[in-house]
Structure 1
């Protein structure tokens, strides 16, 4: 008898569970929450992306990931949305001072940007391409040292990008180097574009080295 009571209790629990789950099933078009503005800053690979608040959760539009190199595919027949991480490669090297020179007090702050080469004739003329294609890294040459290594992960291919649907191409990159250091209480700044076009379709780009100048002459 006791076993039957336990069994009946289990059956009742299952029935109640099914009822509760069924009552909570959402239908297409049901309102599941309010979209609210949020002051939370959301980043993908270090780059800010628009985000919203729904029911206390921070959400991002999947379609916006296209602008960050992700391949977003929609299958209308299956009602399915796939997000595929982009293939990446690496640009790496060393940034240093002329031989015999070392970083002053406070070190040298360096930002290196890898920009899609908008002068490449194989790339469609797209407004804002450089801003969209930027990948960056920041490094510091420590006080008393003469160089520092860097590495930047970059995309090997762009698909279904922000400015042109169904576009696909393999980009070439140009590096932009910006650096600053202290002269007393004054912050000095300089920068330049690299003189090499980097074609990542031929493999990793290593030993892409640059020399920076902090002389006051």
Structure 2
């Protein structure tokens, strides 16, 4: 039985100047790091320098930034995407980052932490669920949502309603732990292969 902590990668999904995303991501990563069932890393897409032009399908070697990020994603057992909502969806830089990879996402659970105006980024999350489903990842149901986010956080970078949001984070992490463990065991037993019509 594999008792090693699950490798959780938290992705900072905004690269916009003045973004609030790192504050939200670091708070959530702190919740995950307080647990023994995860080993948590944070990837900031603003520092990944992924190209915004994808190559042809028959292109040769991948660009350096893609090769550097690939092992971090491939070794992960679970992901949490932290995203704002831009124009009723998620940032273009996040879609670009998702599209650079394929096998790295497969048969792994994905959770979502979102923030925005009155909807709290939920429309971005709903769009992300469809994208990750196409990549054979498993979106978990529970998410953490910050509507009117500037009102939700204090100057210390933590939610003002601490107990409420810690409960939400715990629910998300519990689901990721269950699915992450189950899918890691199954991948070890029988590596996942996407359908032949892909």
TM-score category (smaller protein): under 0.3
When normalised by structure 1's length, the TM-score is: 0.25
Greater strand share, 1 or 2? 1
When normalised by structure 2's length, the TM-score is: 0.27
Pair member with larger Rg: 1
Greater helix share, 1 or 2? 2
